[in-house]
Structure 1
Amino acid sequence: MDRAPGLSVRLKLALSYAGFVTLAGALLLAAVWVFLRRYVSDGVLFSPGRFVPNRPDPLHAFAPAAAAVFAFLLVFGLAGGWILAGRMLTPLTRITDATRRAANGSLSHRIRLQGRRDEFRELADAFDTMLARLEAHVAEQQRFAANASHELRTPLAISQSLLDVARNDPAHDHGELVDRLHAVNARAIDLTEALLVLSRADQRFFTREPVDLSLLMEEATETLLPLAEKRGVTLHASGDITPAVGSPALLLQMTTNLMHNAIVHNLPEQGTVWVTTSVRSETVALTVENSGEKLSPQLVSTLTEPFQRGTGRTRDDHAGLGLGLAIVKSIIHVHDGSLTIVPRPAGGLRTVVQLPTPPRQAAT
């Protein structure tokens, strides 16, 4: 934004200090002048014990001295105000320098203003906190972009290889080729749609309305039941009416992702998934537990990162894209909720989603 040049804040403060000092001095001199005119007789000065006639008029003698004092106060106010303003604005200068560095892309710089708390130090601390969050967000976005590029490049590279084979070997079985291309293309479409869902959730482009998590749980259970039966996983779903406020589509996506993750990352045979909903004092909860391999807390802490998979990058027909829990985390975040994932002692995971109750429900 282009602006016309103006006076610096330091100069404005210096002029303000000088004007205040000069005004105070002028009022003081005016008070002395009034005192002299009122208590000194014309041509006569009062001295202790005697009157001295025919002395010079003190009012005329006072005027040059007052002018000199007034000029001194003006110069003193300007110089002192300039120095004081410089000392007071030093923290602001450091904040401005840090802002320019951040604008040029250097987000690792911190002000770290020393001293006791005041307005400038509160501003500096808030700016440091903002830079830290912004740096973490940019780093996360860079990792996400790199991982997304890698994930999208894989199906494209496979498609390119299959097409090269078909072009170089016309006698190759095209039916098998078409099937493989269809599977690779479907996976690329799924990944693109997952990225769109994640972007929509992060940007909060949705309408909030009343929703019952228990109904979403039942709908997700019906949808995923064939997959669970195919993988030999038993689903146990139960719970009370669980009112919340948010996007039904996004919350259904969250519930489906959690249950899908619990089914896929389970025991090879005779696995179990437990899904429950409950109402707490000021929140509603959706809990998903599954049997499975024993996982370390360090590995569990990374599962909500995009493209992270608890069992590595092994792929099968339902291996997932590594975005399921990342989408869940984003949906919960935009609904002002919390996500807790801990390993079960017997193996598998226990995932708890807590969302705020509707205002009317919280009041009761």
Structure 2
Amino acid sequence: MDRAPGLSVRLKLTLSYVGFLMLAGALLLAAVWVFLLRGRSNALFVPDLSDFRRAFDPRSFGAAVFVPAAIMILVFGLVGGWILAGRMLAPLTRITEATRTAASGSLSQRIRLPGRSDEFRELADSFDTMLARLEDHVAEQQRFAANASHELRTPLAITQALLDVARNDPDGHTGELVERLHTVNTRAIDLTEALLLLGRADQRSFTRAHVDLSLLAEEAAETLLPLAEKRGITIETSGDITPAIGSPALLLQLTTNLVHNAIVHNLPGNGTVWVTTGAHPGAVVLTVENTGEELSPELVSTLVEPFRRGTERLHADHAGAGLGLAIVHSITRAHDGTLALAPRPSGGLRCTVQLPVAACHRLPPA
């Protein structure tokens, strides 16, 4: 924003100090002149205009006292006010330097203003916190962009290799080639759609409405039932009405991703997926658990990172793009909720999503 040039804050504070000192000095000298320097009786009197004229007459004793004192107060006020204003505004100078450094692209700069708490130090601490979050966000976006570029490059490279083979062998069978190209192209499309969904959730560009998580859980389980039956997995859903506020489409995607993840990363046969919903004071909870291989806490802590599938959990079919839990995490944050992942003692994973409850929701009559 373009602004007209003006006085610095330090100069304004200095002039304010000087003005106050001059006013105080004038009142003090006036009081001394009224009560002490007049050769009259001790009784209190009110001077008239002629008294003030005589007081400021250059030949009078009052003027001889007032003028040098006023000059001394003025000089003392200017010097002292300038020094005091500089000391008071020193923290602001450090904050300004840190802001300029951050604006140049260096987000690692911190103010770390010492001393007891006051307005400047609260501002500095808030600015340091903002820089830390911004630095983490930028680093996360850079890692995401690098991983996304790598993941998108893979299907493109496979497609190019298949087309090169077909071009060098024009008499070869095209049926298998077309099928493989279709598979690779489908994976690229799924990855692109997942990236778009992840970006939409991060930007929070959606309309909020009343949502019942229990209904979304039933819909997700019904949609993925054929995949579960194909793998020999049993899905069990339970829970009461779970009122929340958010995007029905995004929350359905969240639930579907959790259930799909629980089905794919399960036992080869006779596995189970448990989907549970519940309402608590101030929050609603969606929990998805599954049987499966034993997972280490270190591996579980990385599963919400984009494109982190975990080599132990990577399967040939339905491996996905590695964005399932990352999308769940992003959607949860966009709805001001929390996502907790924990390995089950007997194997498998427990995913718990906690969202704010819909305060104005009313349960339907029985």
Aligned pairs, number: 349
In the alignment, what sits opposite 2:324?
324
Assess, with a 3 A threshold, how the Cα gap between structure 1 residues 313 and 347 changes in structure 2: closer, same or farther.
closer
Shift in Å at residue 264 of structure 1? 0.6
Shift in Å at residue 58 of structure 1? 8.5
Distance in 2 separating the partners of 1:36 and 1:350:
88
What TM-score do the two structures reach when normalised by structure 1?
Answer: 0.91
8 Å CA contact retained: 2:290, 2:348:
yes
Any residues of structure 2 matched to 1:241-320 within 5 Å, and which?
241-311=241-311, 314=314, 316-320=316-320
1:193 alignment partner AA: E
In the alignment, what sits opposite 2:39?
40
Distance in 2 separating the partners of 1:239 and 1:22:
76
Assess, with a 3 A threshold, how the Cα gap between structure 1 residues 162 and 68 changes in structure 2: closer, same or farther.
same
Distance in 1 separating the partners of 2:271 and 2:189:
29
8 Å CA contact retained: 1:281, 1:362:
no
Distance in 2 separating the partners of 1:313 and 1:2:
56
Distance in 2 separating the partners of 1:83 and 1:242:
63
8 Å CA contact retained: 1:18, 1:77:
yes
Q: Equivalent pairs: percent with the same residue?
A: 72
Q: Secondary structure at the match of 1:287?
A: strand
In the alignment, what sits opposite 1:339?
339
What TM-score do the two structures reach when normalised by structure 2?
Answer: 0.91
The 10-residue stretch of structure 1 (259-268 or 270-279) with the greater mean CA deviation from structure 2: 270-279
Distance in 2 separating the partners of 1:232 and 1:240:
27
Shift in Å at residue 148 of structure 1? 0.5
1:318 alignment partner AA: H
RMSD of aligned residue pairs (Cα, Å): 2.0
8 Å CA contact retained: 1:236, 1:273:
yes
Distance in 2 separating the partners of 1:4 and 1:247:
46
Q: Secondary structure at the match of 2:360?
A: helix
8 Å CA contact retained: 1:304, 1:325:
yes
In the alignment, what sits opposite 1:121?
121
Distance in 2 separating the partners of 1:187 and 1:58:
96
In the alignment, what sits opposite 2:163?
163
- Structure 2: gaps of 5 or more residues: 43-53
Assess, with a 3 A threshold, how the Cα gap between structure 1 residues 347 and 312 changes in structure 2: closer, same or farther.
closer
1:307 alignment partner AA: F
1:67-123 superposed Cα distances (whole Å, 9 cap, x missing partner):
000011001100000100111111000000000000001111111111111111111
In the alignment, what sits opposite 2:205?
205
Q: Secondary structure at the match of 1:359?
A: coil
In the alignment, what sits opposite 1:226?
226
8 Å CA contact retained: 2:338, 2:353:
yes
Q: Secondary structure at the match of 1:285?
A: strand
Any residues of structure 2 matched to 1:116-155 within 5 Å, and which?
116-155=116-155
In the alignment, what sits opposite 2:353?
353
Shift in Å at residue 18 of structure 1? 1.2
Shift in Å at residue 130 of structure 1? 0.6
8 Å CA contact retained: 2:295, 2:348:
yes
Assess, with a 3 A threshold, how the Cα gap between structure 1 residues 240 and 160 changes in structure 2: closer, same or farther.
same
Distance in 2 separating the partners of 1:146 and 1:306:
11
1:130 alignment partner AA: M
Distance in 1 separating the partners of 2:90 and 2:343:
51
